[in-house]
Amino acid sequence: LCSSSSSNTYRDFPLGCVPFGFGSSRLQSRSTHSPSGHHRGAEVKMVKFVADPSCQAKMHQYQIVGRAAPTPKNPVPKIYRMRLFAKNTVLAKSRFWYFMKKLNKAKKSGGELLAVNELFDKGPTKVKNYGIWLRYESRTNTHNMYKEFRDVTINGAVSQMYSEMAGRHRAHPNTIQSINTATLKASECKRDHILEMHDGKLKFPIIRKMPLVAKKMRSTFQARRPMTFVR
């Protein structure tokens, strides 16, 4: 959200720099030999899967206030405030100067930052409906789009948006710009996959139910096949 100190109008300038990646589990194999020298085979050891935090699309919301550096010609330049989504403060500052250069030709070398603050949600334990207005550049043109998501925080909703844009539209994160974000009431939602979650009698079937067995009664092999259906 960008605003000038001399007016009450707002403009939205988002940040979209999210590298996407996937962690992978590794297999460690080792060959064992008997004292007599015969090969007994290879033992495969499974290593616990640990996702790399740098590969997760975790977005944060920042508020950055800055302006162009004072000069004799313009001793009191306008102050701009922007609300940006980025993975860290470094990318948020970079995106701030990207938009400042388009607004008033102010670069990082010829400007100054007055404040950099991270914004948090008031109720991060309650599921809410979020609407996101955005635009992105495809291979042929620039497109406007409106999407809805359900999440407990706006950061999670924006992270879902970047993942969906990368999967459905092959949109590069650098080309995505969030024009506006809003928390929607149930009556304001439009998308079917959001409306179907508003039913008060919504139930999820238990597809596979494993019986709970005491630890001392558990065994690796059983003579009977366990019943997994709900009776």
17, 173 Cβ separation under 8 angstroms: yes
pLDDT, tens digit, 9 for 90 and up, residues 33-83: 545 555 555 555 666 666 666 556 589 999 999 999 999 999 999 999 999
Structure tokens at 19: 């590298």
Residues with Cβ < 8 Å from 65, sequence gap 6 or more? 79, 80, 81, 82, 113, 114, 115, 116
Residues with Cβ < 8 Å from 49, sequence gap 6 or more? 23, 24, 25
Q: How many CB atoms lie within 10 A of CB 137?
A: 14
Confidence of residue 189 (pLDDT cuts 50, 70, 90): very high
Structure tokens at 152: 């407990």
pLDDT, tens digit, 9 for 90 and up, residues 2-20: 444 444 433 444 444 433 3
Type of residue at 224:
R
pLDDT, tens digit, 9 for 90 and up, residues 124-158: 999 999 999 999 999 999 999 999 999 999 999 99
Question: Which letter does DSSP use for residue 105 in this model?
Answer: -
User: What does the pLDDT read at residue 104?
Assistant: 86
Structure tokens at 188: 């304001």
